[in-house]
């Protein structure tokens, strides 16, 4: 039985440990939950449930939750769901000079699993797009013409709620970084959620996987867009060749700088109506 705290279905409790936020707008309830890093007991529980060693920094109680109150239609983002989508077979495992040493270190941390540690994608790359449940609405794949209406998001509307929630992070034994985070922006007529997985594996690859969820409050329209971008590390460095050499390391650490130079590998769009 997991020891992680399930996201509340009502207003966020006035707990000094939870630094999340909550807002209800035109029949939609938006809540974020931000707790301290998992303790040893919680890490052991997650290790056993996932079958892999969790990342160095795991925020297993953090979440972002979007609920259509009338129907119960819900989209949520949690670390456990995202990590459960990581390849556990090792088929997509990336190699670096220190990968064997890193693997041995991870196995020592996973002694709660009694059987032989299975190889897995230790870059923690996840294509998780969020948990959809409740209500009767079903997301169905659509074409580009029914994607997110970005022109509406460019309007200078007031921001009623903004928050960023980190789900997990790992420095990959000083070979780079892998981080999964979620941002939410609520405006008077609509909202946008961005879940971003960012991977920089030095000398190997740069990868960004973005999931955006757009909600139009009045109509109940929900659009989910997933975009995967990726390129070889050295190819990305070349794209910053016009910058001073001293600036390139910081550019390679900033996903906001990288996202516009990485080629698109995959795009999917889904749509539904919550009523």
Is 173 part of a structural domain of the chain?
A: yes
Number of domains within the chain: 1
| Whether pLDDT at 248 is above 90 | no
Instruction: Tell me the C-alpha distance between 94 and 127, whole Å.
Output: 16
Q: What is the pLDDT of residue 95?
A: 55
The answer to whether residue 15 sits within a structural domain is no
Give the 3-state secondary structure percentages of the chain, helix then strand then coil, rounded to 5. 20, 35, 45
Q: What is the mean pLDDT of residues 61-87?
A: 97
In a domain, 145, yes or no: yes
Q: Which residues span the domain enclosing 214? A: 22-273
Could you report the per-residue pLDDT of 250-266, keeping only the tens digit for each? 899 999 999 999 999 99
**Is residue 17 situated within a structural domain?**
no
pLDDT in tens, 17-55: 899 999 999 999 999 999 999 999 999 999 999 988 889
| pLDDT beyond 80 at 236 | yes
- pLDDT tens profile 157-212: 999 999 999 999 999 878 899 999 999 999 999 999 999 999 998 888 899 999 99
Higher pLDDT, 100 or 159: 159
Q: Hey, what are 72's tokens?
A: 């119960």
Cα–Cα distance measured from residue 127 to residue 151, given in angstroms and rounded to the nearest whole number: 26
Q: Is residue 14 part of a domain?
A: no
Looking at residue 106, its pLDDT comes to 54
What span, in angstroms and rounded, lies between the C-alpha atoms of 215 and 36? Answer: 29
Q: At a CB cut-off of 8 Å and minimum separation 6, what does 259 contact?
A: 208, 210, 229
Domain annotation covers residue 9: no
Q: How many C-beta neighbours within 10 Å does residue 44 have?
A: 18
Q: How far, CA to CA in Å, does 33 sit from each of 13, 161, 270? A: 10, 13, 26
């Amino acid at each position: 039985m997991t020891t992680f705290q399930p996201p509340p279905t009502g207003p966020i409790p006035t707990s000094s440990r939870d630094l999340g936020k909550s807002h209800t707008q035109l029949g939609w309830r938006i809540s974020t939950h931000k707790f301290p890093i998992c303790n040893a007991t919680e890490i052991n529980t997650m290790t056993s449930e996932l079958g892999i060693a969790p990342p160095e920094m795991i925020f297993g109680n953090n979440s972002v939750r979007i609920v259509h109150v009338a129907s119960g239609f819900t989209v949520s983002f949690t670390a456990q769901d995202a990590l459960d989508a990581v390849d556990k077979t090792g088929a997509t495992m990336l190699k670096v000079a220190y990968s064997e040493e890193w693997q041995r270190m991870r196995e020592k941390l996973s002694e709660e699993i009694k059987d032989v540690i299975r190889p897995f994608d230790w870059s923690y790359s996840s294509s998780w797009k969020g948990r959809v449940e409740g209500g009767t609405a079903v997301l169905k794949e659509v074409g580009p013409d029914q994607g997110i209406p970005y022109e509406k998001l460019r309007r200078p509307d007031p921001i009623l709620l903004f928050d960023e929630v980190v789900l997990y992070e790992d420095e990959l034994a000083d070979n780079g970084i892998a981080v999964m985070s979620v941002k939410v922006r609520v405006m008077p007529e609509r909202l946008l959620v961005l879940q971003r997985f960012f991977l920089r594996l030095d000398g190997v690859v740069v990868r960004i996987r973005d999931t955006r969820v757009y909600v139009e409050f009045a109509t109940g329209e929900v659009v989910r867009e997933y975009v995967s971008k990726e390129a070889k590390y050295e190819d990305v460095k070349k794209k910053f060749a016009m910058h001073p050499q001293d600036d390139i390391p910081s550019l390679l650490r900033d996903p906001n700088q990288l996202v516009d130079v990485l080629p698109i590998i995959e795009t999917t769009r889904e749509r539904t109506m919550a009523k």
